[in-house]
Structure 1
Amino acid sequence: MSPAARAVRGALRGYQLLLGPWLGGSCRFHPTCSQYGLEAVERHGALRGLWLTARRLARCHPWCDGGDDPVPPR
Protein backbone atom coordinates (compact mmCIF):
# COMPACT_ATOMS: atom_id res chain seq x y z
CA MET A 1 0.00 0.00 0.00
CA SER A 2 1.39 3.41 -0.96
CA PRO A 3 2.06 6.14 1.62
CA ALA A 4 -0.83 8.16 0.16
CA ALA A 5 -3.20 5.21 0.52
CA ARG A 6 -2.04 4.72 4.12
CA ALA A 7 -2.71 8.39 4.89
CA VAL A 8 -6.21 8.24 3.40
CA ARG A 9 -6.89 4.98 5.22
CA GLY A 10 -5.73 6.57 8.49
CA ALA A 11 -8.02 9.56 7.98
CA LEU A 12 -10.99 7.28 7.30
CA ARG A 13 -10.23 5.13 10.35
CA GLY A 14 -9.93 8.30 12.43
CA TYR A 15 -13.35 9.37 11.24
CA GLN A 16 -14.80 5.94 12.07
CA LEU A 17 -13.31 5.90 15.57
CA LEU A 18 -13.63 9.56 16.60
CA LEU A 19 -16.37 11.30 14.63
CA GLY A 20 -18.59 8.43 13.48
CA PRO A 21 -19.89 7.48 16.93
CA TRP A 22 -20.45 11.14 17.82
CA LEU A 23 -22.37 11.91 14.61
CA GLY A 24 -24.43 8.72 14.76
CA GLY A 25 -25.08 6.13 12.10
CA SER A 26 -27.08 7.64 9.28
CA CYS A 27 -25.62 6.10 6.14
CA ARG A 28 -28.26 4.80 3.71
CA PHE A 29 -25.89 2.39 2.02
CA HIS A 30 -24.30 -0.92 2.85
CA PRO A 31 -21.39 -0.93 3.44
CA THR A 32 -21.33 2.45 5.18
CA CYS A 33 -19.69 5.29 3.26
CA SER A 34 -16.58 5.25 5.46
CA GLN A 35 -16.22 1.48 5.13
CA TYR A 36 -16.74 1.84 1.37
CA GLY A 37 -13.93 4.41 1.35
CA LEU A 38 -11.58 2.05 3.19
CA GLU A 39 -12.34 -0.80 0.79
CA ALA A 40 -12.05 1.47 -2.27
CA VAL A 41 -8.62 2.77 -1.20
CA GLU A 42 -7.37 -0.73 -0.37
CA ARG A 43 -8.63 -2.16 -3.65
CA HIS A 44 -7.94 0.72 -6.07
CA GLY A 45 -5.28 2.88 -4.39
CA ALA A 46 -5.50 6.41 -3.00
CA LEU A 47 -6.46 8.43 -6.08
CA ARG A 48 -9.11 6.18 -7.60
CA GLY A 49 -10.32 5.15 -4.13
CA LEU A 50 -10.90 8.80 -3.20
CA TRP A 51 -12.70 9.38 -6.51
CA LEU A 52 -15.01 6.41 -5.92
CA THR A 53 -15.65 7.54 -2.35
CA ALA A 54 -16.46 11.11 -3.45
CA ARG A 55 -18.94 9.75 -6.01
CA ARG A 56 -20.51 7.59 -3.31
CA LEU A 57 -20.80 10.54 -0.90
CA ALA A 58 -22.47 12.61 -3.62
CA ARG A 59 -25.16 9.92 -3.90
CA CYS A 60 -25.75 9.81 -0.13
CA HIS A 61 -28.58 12.30 0.42
CA PRO A 62 -32.14 12.26 1.84
CA TRP A 63 -33.76 11.61 -1.55
CA CYS A 64 -31.68 8.52 -2.29
CA ASP A 65 -33.07 5.08 -1.46
CA GLY A 66 -29.62 3.72 -0.62
CA GLY A 67 -29.21 -0.05 -0.37
CA ASP A 68 -26.39 -2.40 -1.24
CA ASP A 69 -23.57 -0.62 -3.10
CA PRO A 70 -20.29 -2.58 -3.02
CA VAL A 71 -16.93 -1.27 -4.21
CA PRO A 72 -16.47 -2.19 -7.89
CA PRO A 73 -13.90 -4.87 -8.66
CA ARG A 74 -10.44 -3.84 -9.77
Structure 2
Amino acid sequence: MKSSGLIFLIIILSVSHLTAQNSVSDLQLLKNADFENKKFERKKTEWMFKDAPNGFVKYNPVSLMLGGMMFFYQSSISPQFFANCLYNPTCSEFSKKLVKRYGIFKGVFLTADRLTRCNSFSARNIAPGKKDRVSGKVNETPDIYKSKSKKSYTNR
Protein backbone atom coordinates (compact mmCIF):
# COMPACT_ATOMS: atom_id res chain seq x y z
CA MET A 1 0.00 0.00 0.00
CA LYS A 2 2.82 2.39 0.88
CA SER A 3 4.76 1.51 -2.26
CA SER A 4 1.75 2.22 -4.53
CA GLY A 5 1.29 5.62 -2.86
CA LEU A 6 4.98 6.36 -3.34
CA ILE A 7 4.83 5.36 -7.02
CA PHE A 8 1.74 7.53 -7.51
CA LEU A 9 3.50 10.51 -5.89
CA ILE A 10 6.58 10.04 -8.10
CA ILE A 11 4.43 9.92 -11.25
CA ILE A 12 2.52 13.07 -10.27
CA LEU A 13 5.70 14.99 -9.45
CA SER A 14 7.46 13.98 -12.66
CA VAL A 15 4.45 14.89 -14.83
CA SER A 16 4.05 18.27 -13.13
CA HIS A 17 7.78 18.89 -13.57
CA LEU A 18 7.53 18.23 -17.31
CA THR A 19 4.55 20.51 -17.81
CA ALA A 20 6.16 23.34 -15.85
CA GLN A 21 8.96 23.70 -18.39
CA ASN A 22 8.76 26.42 -21.00
CA SER A 23 8.95 25.15 -24.56
CA VAL A 24 10.42 28.40 -25.92
CA SER A 25 13.97 29.12 -24.87
CA ASP A 26 15.09 32.47 -23.57
CA LEU A 27 17.25 33.07 -26.64
CA GLN A 28 14.27 32.45 -28.91
CA LEU A 29 12.21 34.96 -26.90
CA LEU A 30 14.97 37.57 -27.24
CA LYS A 31 15.23 36.89 -30.96
CA ASN A 32 11.49 37.48 -31.44
CA ALA A 33 11.30 40.55 -29.18
CA ASP A 34 10.57 43.98 -30.62
CA PHE A 35 13.30 46.38 -29.51
CA GLU A 36 12.10 49.34 -31.53
CA ASN A 37 13.02 52.69 -30.04
CA LYS A 38 9.94 54.06 -28.39
CA LYS A 39 9.79 57.77 -27.71
CA PHE A 40 8.40 58.94 -24.40
CA GLU A 41 5.84 61.65 -24.94
CA ARG A 42 5.44 64.04 -22.06
CA LYS A 43 1.97 64.96 -21.00
CA LYS A 44 1.25 68.59 -21.74
CA THR A 45 0.45 70.36 -18.48
CA GLU A 46 -1.58 73.53 -18.68
CA TRP A 47 -1.98 76.30 -16.13
CA MET A 48 -5.15 75.86 -14.12
CA PHE A 49 -6.51 79.41 -14.42
CA LYS A 50 -5.27 80.36 -17.89
CA ASP A 51 -8.83 80.80 -19.22
CA ALA A 52 -10.16 82.62 -16.15
CA PRO A 53 -12.90 85.13 -17.01
CA ASN A 54 -11.42 88.01 -15.00
CA GLY A 55 -8.13 89.23 -13.58
CA PHE A 56 -9.20 88.73 -9.97
CA VAL A 57 -9.36 84.97 -10.39
CA LYS A 58 -6.23 84.89 -12.54
CA TYR A 59 -4.00 86.95 -10.22
CA ASN A 60 -5.51 86.16 -6.81
CA PRO A 61 -2.75 84.92 -4.44
CA VAL A 62 -4.84 81.92 -3.38
CA SER A 63 -5.51 80.84 -6.97
CA LEU A 64 -1.87 81.48 -7.90
CA MET A 65 -0.70 79.27 -5.04
CA LEU A 66 -3.24 76.52 -5.80
CA GLY A 67 -2.51 76.67 -9.54
CA GLY A 68 1.24 76.64 -8.93
CA MET A 69 1.04 73.62 -6.65
CA MET A 70 -1.15 71.76 -9.15
CA PHE A 71 1.17 72.65 -12.04
CA PHE A 72 4.22 71.50 -10.05
CA TYR A 73 2.51 68.25 -9.08
CA GLN A 74 1.38 67.44 -12.63
CA SER A 75 4.64 68.36 -14.34
CA SER A 76 7.19 67.12 -11.78
CA ILE A 77 5.79 64.70 -9.22
CA SER A 78 3.05 62.80 -11.05
CA PRO A 79 5.28 61.50 -13.90
CA GLN A 80 7.60 59.91 -11.30
CA PHE A 81 4.87 57.59 -10.00
CA PHE A 82 3.79 54.44 -11.75
CA ALA A 83 0.39 54.64 -10.10
CA ASN A 84 -2.55 53.96 -12.34
CA CYS A 85 -5.62 56.07 -11.62
CA LEU A 86 -8.94 54.20 -11.61
CA TYR A 87 -10.71 57.09 -13.27
CA ASN A 88 -10.65 59.00 -16.50
CA PRO A 89 -9.70 61.88 -16.39
CA THR A 90 -6.98 61.46 -13.80
CA CYS A 91 -7.61 62.81 -10.32
CA SER A 92 -5.50 65.93 -10.83
CA GLU A 93 -7.17 66.78 -14.16
CA PHE A 94 -10.56 66.16 -12.57
CA SER A 95 -9.58 68.44 -9.70
CA LYS A 96 -8.76 71.24 -12.14
CA LYS A 97 -12.16 70.83 -13.77
CA LEU A 98 -13.91 70.87 -10.39
CA VAL A 99 -12.14 74.06 -9.29
CA LYS A 100 -12.95 75.77 -12.60
CA ARG A 101 -16.59 74.75 -12.39
CA TYR A 102 -17.43 75.07 -8.69
CA GLY A 103 -14.81 77.48 -7.37
CA ILE A 104 -11.76 76.95 -5.18
CA PHE A 105 -13.38 75.99 -1.89
CA LYS A 106 -16.03 73.58 -3.14
CA GLY A 107 -13.61 72.25 -5.77
CA VAL A 108 -11.03 71.33 -3.12
CA PHE A 109 -13.62 69.50 -1.00
CA LEU A 110 -14.96 67.62 -4.02
CA THR A 111 -11.38 66.72 -4.97
CA ALA A 112 -10.96 65.20 -1.51
CA ASP A 113 -14.01 63.04 -2.21
CA ARG A 114 -12.53 61.87 -5.49
CA LEU A 115 -9.15 61.10 -3.91
CA THR A 116 -10.76 58.98 -1.21
CA ARG A 117 -12.46 56.91 -3.94
CA CYS A 118 -9.30 56.42 -6.02
CA ASN A 119 -7.67 53.43 -4.34
CA SER A 120 -7.54 49.68 -4.65
CA PHE A 121 -10.15 49.14 -1.93
CA SER A 122 -12.73 51.30 -3.71
CA ALA A 123 -12.05 49.53 -7.00
CA ARG A 124 -13.84 46.47 -5.64
CA ASN A 125 -17.07 48.44 -5.25
CA ILE A 126 -17.17 49.84 -8.78
CA ALA A 127 -19.91 48.24 -10.84
CA PRO A 128 -18.53 46.48 -13.94
CA GLY A 129 -20.98 48.39 -16.14
CA LYS A 130 -19.39 51.72 -15.18
CA LYS A 131 -15.94 50.72 -16.45
CA ASP A 132 -14.88 51.49 -19.99
CA ARG A 133 -14.37 48.25 -21.94
CA VAL A 134 -11.17 49.43 -23.64
CA SER A 135 -9.30 51.27 -20.87
CA GLY A 136 -10.89 49.60 -17.84
CA LYS A 137 -11.30 53.00 -16.20
CA VAL A 138 -14.40 54.76 -14.95
CA ASN A 139 -15.29 57.85 -16.99
CA GLU A 140 -16.49 60.69 -14.77
CA THR A 141 -17.36 64.31 -15.35
CA PRO A 142 -17.83 67.11 -12.79
CA ASP A 143 -21.57 66.81 -13.47
CA ILE A 144 -21.83 64.00 -10.91
CA TYR A 145 -21.59 66.69 -8.20
CA LYS A 146 -24.08 69.01 -9.83
CA SER A 147 -27.05 69.78 -7.61
CA LYS A 148 -30.39 70.11 -9.33
CA SER A 149 -31.32 73.35 -7.57
CA LYS A 150 -28.10 75.36 -8.07
CA LYS A 151 -26.27 76.38 -11.21
CA SER A 152 -22.53 76.00 -11.51
CA TYR A 153 -20.28 79.05 -11.30
CA THR A 154 -19.35 78.90 -14.96
CA ASN A 155 -22.95 78.75 -16.21
CA ARG A 156 -24.15 81.98 -14.57
- Taking structure 2 as the reference length, the TM-score comes to 0.43
**Per-residue deviation, residues 11-69 of structure 1 (Å, max 9, x unmatched):** 11111000010013411101100001111111111101101100000001103245011
Contact 1:8 1:41 in 2 (8 A): no
Give aligned-pair identity as a percent. Answer: 27
Q: For the structure 1 residues 45 and 5, does the alpha-carbon distance in structure 2 shift closer, same or farther, using more than 3 Å as the test? A: farther
Unaligned runs of at least 5 residues, structure 1: none
Greater share of helix residues, 1 or 2?
1
1:51 aligns to what SS in structure 2? helix
Q: How many residues align?
A: 74
Alignment of 1:1-74 (within 5 A): 1=57, 3=60, 4-63=62-121, 64=123, 65=126, 67-72=138-143, 73=146, 74=152
Residue type matched to 2:115 in 1? L
- Cα separation, 2, equivalents of 1:13 and 1:71: 20
**1 or 2 for the larger relative contact order (CA 8 Å, sep ≥6)?**
1
Cα–Cα, structure 1 residues 39 and 6, in superposed 2: closer, same or farther, change >3 Å?
A: farther
Asked if 2 retains the 8 angstrom alpha-carbon contact of 1:30 and 1:68, the reply is yes
One-letter identity of the residue aligned with 2:82: G
Instruction: Could you tell me which runs of 5 or more consecutive residues in structure 2 were left unpaired when the two chains were aligned.
Output: 1-56, 127-136, 147-151
One-letter identity of the residue aligned with 1:33: C
Instruction: Kindly indicate whether the alpha-carbon contact (under 8 Å) linking 1:39 and 1:71 is maintained by their aligned counterparts in 2.
Output: yes
* Structure 1 stretches of 4+ moved >4 Å: none
Greater displacement, 5-14 / 29-38: 5-14
For the residue of structure 1 that corresponds to 2:120, the secondary structure is coil
